[in-house]
Amino acid sequence: MRNCRTPWERPRFGPEGQLLALFTRMEMLLFCVWALLALNPGPGATEEIFEVSIWPDQALVKLGQSLMINCSTTCPDPGPGGIETYLKKTQVDKGPQWKEFLLEDVTENSVLQCFFSCAGIQKDTSLDITVYQPPEQVILELQPAWVAMDEAFTVKCHVPSVAPLENLTLTLLQGNQELHRKDFMNLAVASQRAEITINVKAQREDDRCNFSCCAELDLSSHGGGLFHSSSAIKVLRIFEFSESPQIWVSSLLEIGMAEAVSCELARVFPAREVMFHMFLGDQELSLFVSWKGDTAWANATVRAMETGDQELSCLVSLGPMEQKTREPVHVYNKPRLEESDCPGYQTWVKGTEQLLACVPKGNPTPTLVCTWNGVIFNFEVPRKATQNHTGTYCCTASNQLGSVSKDIAVIVRGLDEGISSAIFVIIIVALGVGVITIALYLNYRPCKIERRKLPYRQKEKNKEEESQFAVQQAEKCNAHNC
């Protein structure tokens, strides 16, 4: 009601004192009466009772949308009227007793006045405009996404745009179970955000649990409906990773040979999700991964192609965790006694300084032991070759990977032997030629008698010579073949 709101200049009256007080009261009364008379255009309408009303009587406007207002009066011949608001308004229509306005882009709650005057009397009525924003986006965050067992994780739900906050309820859910519920009815609105945060201790059972958040906006008390919206499901991952992976490998790897190696991670959860990578140097190995209980392991086969020191490494990862273990390995060669470095037949020249030629191959360098007639023979010391050194030597090369043996036949031959045998052959040949010449000569001698006797003798002599030759020949062979 805005009766008597027009400012008025006080009229002057004569005497002062008590009379003045009386006059002042009268003045006010007169002023009111005068005002009513003066502002009433219609004659005799002062007694008229009129109403001012607004439609709609409850205004619930979605954020940013517009609203039509019909401000009307029952006054048959109304004076000035309209609405008072700081919102952008446009009069779209009017009748004798009403005015219709369009309010655009309503973004805030406000109170609007609708007023009309009738016979100099102004009346108004107000309308509460409530702006609402249904929860469209509901954001759920799990921090961290992978949480170590017995550590705390945070579940946070946040609705970026929702109004009115007082009518919002946020519910956190784990699976289908309510974890926490929050409403914003009794809280100071200014300091509030549509947000809920709780901390939970991670248990194994929570692994792979679905977390979600539900936002509910109940506008029934404002003449509106019930809106709800849910966040996307977030899956919590829980892990345990307290140990370093362990590599199992023989400290001796043989070159070119397939060797089984493995990498094991104990006290890990979930074991079946552990990822393994194994390398020998830069070369990645193909793995066969298994798990049982809280242990996961990977088996692989390595085939080292280079001797020397190398590194076997195992990289293990699970969720945010990653660990690498390295293990030095030594790649070895089994001992070998090859014909090129350790010939199986060796000829020594009698009287010269000789060594048994045998260098074993392998990594680590093998040790070599040679025996001769069951006695260890120090092959490293050069010795003067004698006939006695002829024979078969047995050499054995060994290293950490094993041993190999080989028989080496040594023949000692005299340096002069060759020359003497050549002379011997010449003598024999000469002798043979001589004998044949004599035989031929005797065969053609004119004397027949002696011829009969002589060939016998001659033959006997020849026989003697031949047998002698045979013996010599045999001796010569023996000498060669010993």
Ligand X SMILES: *[C@@H]1O[C@H](CO)[C@@H](O)[C@H](O)[C@H]1NC(C)=O
Q: Which is nearer to ligand X, 208 or 457 (CB)?
A: 208
Q: How far is the CB of 482 from ligand X (least distance, A)?
A: 13
> Any contact of residue 93 with ligand X (CB under 6 A)?
yes
> Any contact of residue 221 with ligand X (CB under 6 A)?
yes
Nearest one of 54, 69, 51, 31 to 118, comparing CA atoms: 51
Piece of the chain touching ligand X by CB under 6 A; list 94-102, 197-205, 395-403, 407-415: 94-102
Rounded to an integer, what distance in angstroms lies between the CA atom of residue 244 and that of residue 125?
77
Rounded to an integer, what distance in angstroms lies between the CA atom of residue 110 and that of residue 412?
125
C-beta of residue 211 within 8 angstroms of C-beta of residue 155:
yes
> Any contact of residue 136 with ligand X (CB under 6 A)?
no
Piece of the chain touching ligand X by CB under 6 A; list 164-172, 284-292, 323-331, 340-348: 164-172
> Any contact of residue 70 with ligand X (CB under 6 A)?
yes
Q: Which is nearer to ligand X, 170 or 397 (CB)?
A: 170
x-marked contacts with ligand X along 96-115 as a string, rule CB under 6 A:
--x-x---------------
CA 129 vs CA 113, 132, 284: distances in Å: 11, 10, 70
Q: Virtual CA dihedral for 17, 21, 23, 24, nearest 10 degrees?
A: 130
Q: How far is the CB of 268 from ligand X (least distance, A)?
A: 21
Q: How far is the CB of 368 from ligand X (least distance, A)?
A: 23
Piece of the chain touching ligand X by CB under 6 A; list 159-167, 264-272, 448-456, 472-480: 159-167
The half-sphere exposure of 343 on its side-chain side, counting CA atoms within 13 A, is 10
Q: Which residues pair with 330 in a beta bridge?
A: 252, 309
> Any contact of residue 175 with ligand X (CB under 6 A)?
yes
> Any contact of residue 3 with ligand X (CB under 6 A)?
no
Q: How far is the CB of 208 from ligand X (least distance, A)?
A: 6
Piece of the chain touching ligand X by CB under 6 A; list 14-22, 202-210, 342-350, 419-427: 202-210
Query: How many CB atoms sit inside 10 A of residue 312's CB?
Result: 24
x-marked contacts with ligand X along 31-60 as a string, rule CB under 6 A:
------------------------x-----
Residue with tokens 């260890």: 376
Q: Which is nearer to ligand X, 384 or 463 (CB)?
A: 384
Q: Which is nearer to ligand X, 222 or 451 (CB)?
A: 222
Q: Count interface residues toward ligand X (CB under 6 A).
A: 21
> Any contact of residue 354 with ligand X (CB under 6 A)?
no
Q: How far is the CB of 210 from ligand X (least distance, A)?
A: 4
Q: How far is the CB of 374 from ligand X (least distance, A)?
A: 14
Piece of the chain touching ligand X by CB under 6 A; list 218-226, 354-362, 437-445, 468-476: 218-226
Q: Which is nearer to ligand X, 97 or 396 (CB)?
A: 97
Q: Candidates 388, 416, 448, 449: give the one binding ligand X (CB under 6 A).
A: 388
> Any contact of residue 90 with ligand X (CB under 6 A)?
no
Piece of the chain touching ligand X by CB under 6 A; list 77-85, 203-211, 244-252, 331-339: 203-211
Q: Which is nearer to ligand X, 209 or 247 (CB)?
A: 209
160: left (phi over 0), alpha (psi -120 to 50) or beta: alpha
Q: Which is nearer to ligand X, 279 or 393 (CB)?
A: 393
Q: List binders of ligand X among 302-341 (CB under 6 A).
A: none
Q: How far is the CB of 207 from ligand X (least distance, A)?
A: 9
C-beta of residue 397 within 8 angstroms of C-beta of residue 408:
no
Q: Candidates 18, 220, 373, 478: give the one binding ligand X (CB under 6 A).
A: 220
> Any contact of residue 417 with ligand X (CB under 6 A)?
no
x-marked contacts with ligand X along 367-386 as a string, rule CB under 6 A:
-------------------x
Q: Candidates 166, 216, 273, 417: give the one binding ligand X (CB under 6 A).
A: 166
> Any contact of residue 233 with ligand X (CB under 6 A)?
yes
> Any contact of residue 216 with ligand X (CB under 6 A)?
no
Q: Which residues bind ligand X (CB under 6 A)?
A: 55, 70, 72, 93, 95, 98, 100, 164, 166-167, 175, 185, 208-210, 218, 220-221, 233, 386, 388
